[in-house]
Structure 1
Amino acid sequence: MGLISGIMGFFFGNGRNVLVETAQVFRPNAEQTAMRDADAKSESLQQFAAEFAHARQGLFDRAVDALNRLPRPMLALGTIWLFVMAMVDPDSFAAGMTGLALVPEPLWWLMGAIVSFYFGARHQAKEQDFQRVLAAAAAASEAATRKPAPAADDSNPALRDWQASHGI
């Protein structure tokens, strides 16, 4: 009996489990990994939501937003106007198209880069606003669904020891 209790004490004594500790060297504990992943996700969502929490309400911000809304409608209406000019005044339209044909190719590349960067920056700004809204919604949803930790049952010493060893 002394030999068996000594072996059992070696493996399971002092609140440890040598078998589990050895297995965790080769394969991580899935429950603890899931808890760490959930905590990391929650913290990153909270940080992301806090980063974009400020609202742009100033006059300058509203004016810049209004100016940023002009190029797309102007490009669309300008293209439609070209069709109207081709029908209304074909000679002026032909002269304008001849002038465009004389524009050197590097200038067209420059114009394409400017327009691409403008619309790319606008898309990025809108995407970041959308991500901010999603992060705030996800953080609010996670906070609403998070369950409180169960209260410790003082009448069960084994449960108290287990909760203390797991940081609960």
Structure 2
Amino acid sequence: MQIRPLDLTDDATATAVHRIGRAAYGVEAALIGFDGIPALGESLADLRSTDLNWVGAFSGSGELAGFLAWEEGARISIDRLCVDPGWFRRGVGSLLLRHALAEVFPGRAVRVTTGAANAPAVTLYERVGFTRGPDFSPVPGLTMASFGRAAGNTPCDGGRGSSDLA
């Protein structure tokens, strides 16, 4: 797998990201029992207009297997981490997350949320050293889990260090 930046002004790239995102969020919707995930209703134009930074994981044959997108600020806020369902359970999500923590925003505070019932995502964030913060319900019928990593944590520190979720 090769990790590289994604350019959503490129039609083929944006289309692949949109397709993978809808497929991945469809799986998450089933896992958490909530089909109102905003990205599921996002058009290609909406996706392209987001103010996010993007990296993708590419197979040896050049196929986009997954992507990670984030917002810059005082803290990094991971907006989405999606893996094509055909690539599930092959370490793509871990690879993207570990790469971003070590190479893209090393040592910076990072936060992320996911559906609290999305066991694979919860396990992934905990495995790479995020600390679980409070759960919250942005809308009735949906419980989200929040996670954070304090500034200075290394990608594989096992969660040592304090949480920075505020």
Q: Give TM-score scaled by structure 1 length.
A: 0.17
Given the two structures, how large is their TM-score scaled by the length of structure 2?
0.17
